[in-house]
Structure 1
Amino acid sequence: MKNLNNFKYYLAAIVAFSIWGSFSLVLRPLQSYSSLDILFYRVFSCAVLMSVVSMIWKRKKMKENLERFIGLPVKKRNKILWLNIGASILLTINWFSFIYVMNHINVRATSVAYLICPVLTTVLAYLFLREKLNSSQWFAVLLSFTGCILLSYTSLINMLYSAIVGLSYACYLISQNKNDGFDKFLTLNIHIVLSAISLLPFYPFYSGPLPTQIQFYFYVEIIAILYTIVALFLNLYALSGISSSKVGMILNLNPIIAFILSITLYHESFSLITIIAYSIILMAVVIFNSSNLVQSSKSK
């Protein structure tokens, strides 16, 4: 029964990261638009949609969650408050950097970002959540770091962009592992509303002319509903049942799908060093996951 209960959390993570792996399919058609404009309309649209859903169908849960929050000790209440504020900041950084890298650098750089993200998540989970790593997992971390160094030789700027995207999401995963006890949809709603509030003062000064093409709003709504609300909700749901390091490793589905699309659909070129670096990072992923499988077998 426990394995069946865990399966739904693994499945939620698999579906979430599979969705994100295909992000380029809806983001690349918006390549002619400013990254900030895409971010503005994505976040504002999500904030409105989720708030409407919460007000209509989640009123009872909102009341229960608010009562629970007020009933917490002051120290715990402050911790939850800052966790959610920090999460909204991290999401905003991650979304903007991802959109910018995808549309103005290349798809491969976003793929690299989510190849290094699982390792960053694992190390952060070890440092802040006390999740244990064995010797082979540390070896996998070292291998991945080596691959990242090689990638930095091919393009240091691309690697820096990838690091920003990967690190911001790794920090988000770690922070939300401790943000439990509340309805996940409402938690995500708070994150996005806070993100929208933080972006609102910048909109009049940094937004471009109001988009007039229906295509823009069509793709933005797909991004808002499927690639933001649905995928992030599934991600948070997965974190409520399995550890950050396990969710982080399932995250590798994202770059694998993005990597395949960058070759087959966008025909991006790869140097020999890039291929070797990717191979080393993927080897690290296999070693890390095989270690988890061995541990699970021993437990059984």
Structure 2
Amino acid sequence: MPFNKYFVSALSAFIIWGFFSLALKPLATYPSLDILFFRVFIATLFLLVITFFFRRHTLVEAKRTFMSFTLRKRKRTLLITVTGGFLLILNWFLFIYAINHVSLQSASFAYIICPILTTVLAFIILKERIDFWQWIAVALCVVSCVILSYGNFKDLIYSIVIALSFGFYLISQRRNNDFDKFLILTIQMLIASLVLLPFYPSYGGLVPTDFIFYALLLVIVIVFTIVPLFLNLYALKGLNSSTVGILMYTNPLIHFFLAIFYFKENVSVSQVISYTLIAISIVVFNITSLTNLNDKRRKKVVIK
């Protein structure tokens, strides 16, 4: 896997998500469900406006493609797309709750486990090849997780649920490559809104009136929702799930540094060791890619 636009897209998505807490933490006084409701509803409205007013041709093309499928493939496509919407909702709610009501580091821990689970799930379900160095990287990640989870078994269980929700999302969307990724994202957000809408009257709080709430929410919707989700889906067109999964480690690494240097959370020696192992594992996982890239560059030089 050479470093290409798909690799850059995946890496950019997780770097953006790594700074999500900067916009989310100031909203800690608001209920997690309210943040989720408004995030999904506003994002869906944005996407629908863009799709119907500026990208109608993609709808026509998607309809033509969908109608050309067999009945079995239509059902499979619908199932994958709908499941993706449900998994996003579950993942977002649990993540927001962890950030605002547990700790930033507990939320980060979920995304430390997630790449390992995603890599293993891709190996089992999608039969994706994992070479020797990539298995070494996975082993390093497992060791780091064991160190981090010591004495925090309850948080570990909670983090596994968050990790599995996003891991299965990546796995499912790897097989959803027949349609425009922006359109898929729009459909999944619409599904998410339809799922949440019946719950809003009963579980939604008072409509916020503070300007800061809507200003930060707008940033969350555009910068931390639409852009990285689209980049992530786009990356899955050209990368396997295990590679995208391991790149996810940039997310908790950024969370970790923000927790130390910005939010001033206490950090133990074991956490420093664990995150160092994670940083090493990212490099190890991509050793083959780096080697292939250097070989290609050398061949180009020889040809010239």
Query: TM class by shorter-chain length?
Result: over 0.9
1:256 aligns with 2:253: yes
After the TM superposition, which residues 157-196 of structure 1 pair with which residues of structure 2 at under 5 Å, given as runs? Answer: 157-196=154-193
Structure 1 unaligned blocks of 5 or more: none
Contact 1:101 1:109 in 2 (8 A): yes
Residue in 1 that maps onto 2:138: 141
RMSD: 1.9
Residue in 2 that maps onto 1:34: 31
The alignment covers a number of residue pairs equal to 297
The structural deviation recorded for 1:191 is 0.5
The structural deviation recorded for 1:255 is 1.4
Residue in 2 that maps onto 1:208: 205
What's the TM-score, normalizing by structure 1?
0.93
Contact 2:111 2:163 in 1 (8 A): yes
Q: Quote the Cα distance in structure 2 between the aligned partners of 1:139 and 1:9.
A: 24
Residue in 2 that maps onto 1:10: 7
Percentage identity across paired residues of the two chains: 43
Contact 2:13 2:229 in 1 (8 A): yes
The structural deviation recorded for 1:295 is 5.7
Residue in 2 that maps onto 1:93: 90
1:218 corresponds to which of 215, 219, 226: 215
Q: Quote the Cα distance in structure 1 between the aligned partners of 2:20 and 2:176.
A: 26
Q: Quote the Cα distance in structure 2 between the aligned partners of 1:221 and 1:141.
A: 36
Q: Quote the Cα distance in structure 1 between the aligned partners of 2:286 and 2:58.
A: 37
The structural deviation recorded for 1:103 is 1.1
Q: Deviations over 1:220-240 (max 9, x none)?
A: 111111111111011111111
The structural deviation recorded for 1:7 is 1.6
What's the TM-score, normalizing by structure 2?
0.91
Q: Quote the Cα distance in structure 2 between the aligned partners of 1:231 and 1:36.
A: 21
Structure 2 unaligned blocks of 5 or more: 300-304
Contact 1:148 1:159 in 2 (8 A): no
**Worse-matched range after superposition: 183-192 or 105-114:** 105-114
2:224 corresponds to which of 210, 222, 227: 227
Q: Quote the Cα distance in structure 2 between the aligned partners of 1:275 and 1:8.
A: 32
Q: Quote the Cα distance in structure 1 between the aligned partners of 2:175 and 2:117.
A: 17
1:64 aligns with 2:84: no
Q: Quote the Cα distance in structure 2 between the aligned partners of 1:49 and 1:196.
A: 12
The structural deviation recorded for 1:117 is 1.8
Residue in 2 that maps onto 1:273: 270
The structural deviation recorded for 1:99 is 0.7
Contact 1:154 1:274 in 2 (8 A): no
Contact 1:101 1:161 in 2 (8 A): no
Contact 2:253 2:275 in 1 (8 A): no
Q: Quote the Cα distance in structure 2 between the aligned partners of 1:32 and 1:268.
A: 19
Contact 1:89 1:195 in 2 (8 A): yes
Q: Quote the Cα distance in structure 1 between the aligned partners of 2:60 and 2:19.
A: 37
Residue in 1 that maps onto 2:302: none
Contact 2:10 2:244 in 1 (8 A): yes
> Is the partner of 1:226 in helix, strand or coil?
helix
